[in-house]
Structure 1
Amino acid sequence: MRALVGLFSLLLLSGPAAAAPAAGHPILGIWRLTLPQLGCSETYRFRADGTSLVTSAEEISESEYQIPDKPSAKGFYRMEDRITKDNGKKDCAGVIMKVGTRATNFIRFHPSNTLFLMCADESMETCIGPFERIEGEEA
């Protein structure tokens, strides 16, 4: 009984598992963000199980993400992300990410689904990108 109580407590503390995106969701796949001003690029692998792998300079990190099946009325997908693993090395901006860091971003896809912008809110005022889909590779 004590083991069951401990397991139940552990499950409660760990929080809900990431909800996997719907099959065929436009976020799924491998994306590259090129940062010419920093002489660096980042690669994002959004997997169908609701996890992602990001490489940025020396950094390698993994996250759990949630994204709705459909965009909002303004055309943005609200994406919630939480870093679950990080190798402790600097990214393209020279920052070391911390495990547990959470972020909310708003994704706006080009009609071709081969590009997207990542924005701070549901406007085009504070965005980075474009992220370009890398064809022919699996996430």
Structure 2
Amino acid sequence: MRQFFFFFTLLCSVASLQAAGPSAGAPSAPVQHPVVGSWTWTLPGKACTENLHYQGNGTRRGSSGEEVTQSRYEVSPMPSLLGFYRLTETVTEGNGKKDCSGDLHEAPGEPVTRFIQFSPKKDQLIVCREESLKACFGPLKRAPQ
């Protein structure tokens, strides 16, 4: 019984140290989200490519057909139990032209939430309207750096 109590106390101590995080003087390595980088997707049967560049500072540049946009984004740090990251983007600037699908998109200032899921190698992703594979597009491929 004493061994169990000792082991339990040791386990709780380690857990509390991990929860406390690094000390004030310890350097912490930045955590880069897998969405950060450049992504491309060409619509099937069309010669039109969508390009998205997510920067680590929470901004995104994009082009699709004639459309060019700048956005702010927030993405969940971890995927849900279904394997999707919640991605909310708010267009801050856009040229108001049509994208590869021929659509005009959201006016600046309107947040749009999508759900993204990565391939196991994190070199491809799909974009979905819900946490489901029913209404998605992609895969977008990570562009070489």
Q: TM-score range by the shorter chain?
A: 0.7 to 0.9
Name which structure has the greater RCO, CA cutoff 8 Å, separation 6+: 1
CA distance in 1, matches of 2:91, 2:67: 12
Equivalent runs, 1:1-139 vs 2, <5 Å: 23-97=31-105, 98-136=107-145
CA distance in 2, matches of 1:99, 1:24: 27
Deviation, 1:73, is 1.0
CA distance in 2, matches of 1:78, 1:51: 16
Aligned residues: 115
Deviation, 1:81, is 0.8
CA distance in 1, matches of 2:95, 2:135: 28
Over the matched positions of the two proteins, sequence identity in percent amounts to 37
CA distance in 2, matches of 1:55, 1:100: 18
TM-score, normalisation: structure 2: 0.75
TM-score, normalisation: structure 1: 0.78
CA distance in 1, matches of 2:113, 2:96: 22
CA distance in 2, matches of 1:122, 1:36: 23
Deviation, 1:135, is 1.3
Root-mean-square deviation (CA), in Å? Answer: 1.3
Structure 2: stretches of 5+ with no match in the other structure: 1-29
- Higher Cα Rg, which structure: 2
1:132 counterpart letter in structure 2: K
